[in-house]
Amino acid sequence: MVAYEFYWGDLIKGYQLVGTLPERRRNPLRITQASVMNWGEKFFDGKLDVKNVFFIQVTIDENTGRIRRPDHEMIAYKVFYKNYEIKRGELMGILIERRRDLRGMMQIESGLKWARSTFGDFVRDKRLIFVVPRELKSINLLKSDWSF
């Protein structure tokens, strides 16, 4: 059975598992990243800040109940905005890249394009957005630290 593990990202405590929701929809065309996030937000009573929450698709073995997570590495992008008034970058959010390929782009280029399309409406100039990529193993998400 397919399920989704929702994680809340905190820069101090790291990632914390919020909960696991099973997928029950039969039509795969209705399953999108936005629909899963909306479902998680409704299920967790709107208490989650969607900017700091992401999910991972996992498989639950129906016989044993074991959760199998994907083995591939994920890329996490810290998204910053250049603030010239305080002379440093302001953290806007974190994006988790789960695709196996980057569509022929370099890692930084792919993350920057995604960050500008996601956070571009919140700033005056999209060109002032920059990203810092970091690879994470999906198994060690809860233990990962963000020190560079």
Contacts of 92 (CB under 8 A, 6+ apart): 79, 80, 81, 115, 119, 122, 123, 129
Report pLDDT digits (tens) over 85-113: 888 888 898 888 766 666 677 778 888 88
On whether both 79 and 61 belong to a single domain, the answer is no
Q: Please state the domain count of the chain.
A: 2
- Note whether 80 and 128 are same-domain residues: yes
- Residues 78, 64, single domain; the answer is no
Full-model pTM: 0.49
- Residue after which a domain boundary falls, among 45, 68, 91: 68
* Dihedral sign (CA 131, 46, 43, 29): negative
Does any domain span residue 148?
Answer: no
| Co-location of 57 and 77 in the same domain | no
* Rounded Cα–Cα distance for residues 61 and 67 (Å): 7
Among 6-10, 109-113, 134-138, the minimum mean pLDDT is found in: 134-138
Q: Other C-beta atoms within 10 Å of 128: how many?
A: 15
Q: Is residue 136 part of a domain?
A: yes
Q: Which H or E run includes 132?
A: strand 129-137
What pLDDT, in 10s, does the model give residues 27-67?
878 888 788 888 887 887 766 666 777 788 888 888 888 88
Confidence of residue 144 (pLDDT cuts 50, 70, 90): very low
